[in-house]
Structure 1
Amino acid sequence: MKFAVIVFPGSNCDIDLYEALKTVCHAEVEYVSHKETSLDGFDAVMVPGGFSYGDYLRCGAIARFANIMPALIEFAKAGKPVFGTCNGFQILTEAGLLPGALKQNDSLKFVCKTVALEVNNQTMFTSEYNDNEVIKLPIAHADGSYYADEETLAKLEANNQIAFRYHGENPNGSLHDIAGIVNEQGNVLGMMPHPERAVEALLGNEDGLRLFKSILKHGHQTEEVVNG
């Protein structure tokens, strides 16, 4: 299974994602520039956190028009795994690959801390967790408050598309305590917390590791079906 980590001007979590996959999970992974126009040969795409294009206009709004985005949209429509964390989540909503939007934190301040999350393990990205398991992951954002209209929120609830919820403390005012969602097809995940920063016991937290193991597990299962 081959992963692409897209790099935009201002990305600063691309290396974290790369090393989580390459060094910890021993997966095949490459950086892909925002200038590229193809994702041929890749099995999954990672959209990193950071401040793409300086967060000008609106977080993720300029990245939405990068050369690589039409290929990413087609990749997602083909049912292949796409993961976006923090600014990556913002980019995926701006591109229309996920519903809703991320607005300023209710505190109007940048929040950087470790938070508790409740996991829905009924997605390809969370299957290695226990259902309703509470884990801890770091967050670092100023515009992480998830917002959507009531109809969209009702659909997310009814379709079991909420992959992660803040547990106990809601650090940014996200509606329904939403920390991460998948699309209706289930192959696109966006979340504000950073699992790639919590993959090694040496750094004090491995709670993010099973997200990447879940993606790899799904990829191996898909390969087995394809190869008979």
Structure 2
Amino acid sequence: MEKRTFWDKFDAFMMKDNTFILLVMGAAAAIFAGTYMFINLGTGAFNDLSIVAMLKDGMDGGDYAAAAGFAAGFLIARVLEGPLVGLMDIGGTLQTGVGIGIPALFLSMGWQFPFSSFPVALLVGAVIGLVMGGVIMLIRKAVPEGVAVGGTSIMMGVGNAIGRYLAPLIVVAATQYDVYAGIGAILGCAIFYKWGKELAGGAILGAMLFGGIFL
């Protein structure tokens, strides 16, 4: 019998279904705990500025509909997409879905317990990851071998398509934070529009540049 090396054993371990679920649990726990830090300390969220702004608007105004609807939609689409196309989008599934969508849903229902302490946030995130990992593996096993999944290409790139319409939200959020950041975001949008680039990127870079210079 051929003796397997450490890396052979490691390879075999990483290819197990249970290992995938453990990895999703760890990532979900860390991201959910990061959102707990953002809610309580104002920093730590694992997400883009524009997406975090949705959650911040909900925290300030009490209306979490935008954050919950946008981010939870990402989560559902990516969980369905992952087992069919053979990859899981960490940004859409974990960072946006677990980091923003699920916390927004909890807060909209008045559930403060998941954010009562850092260990609790880690535990809640791990449980969310366990459920997600289990669902993804169940879908994967339920799909018959050889079934074409080309239709899922509709889901691929949905984040980039939606992101094109987030520039106004970024400008508003930057202006609420500081007038100089708002001016930078507007100028960034104008420059990127002239270049034919994504406006959201220009708004973020402009806000960061002017914020760094004048604040």
TM-score category of the 2 structures, normalised to the smaller one? under 0.3
Normalising by the residue count of structure 1, what TM-score does the alignment of the two structures yield? 0.24
Q: Which of the pair is proportionally richer in helix? A: 2
Looking at secondary structure, tell me which structure has more strand per residue.
Answer: 1
Q: Computing the radius of gyration over CA atoms, which structure comes out larger, 1 or 2? A: 2
TM-score by length of 2: 0.25
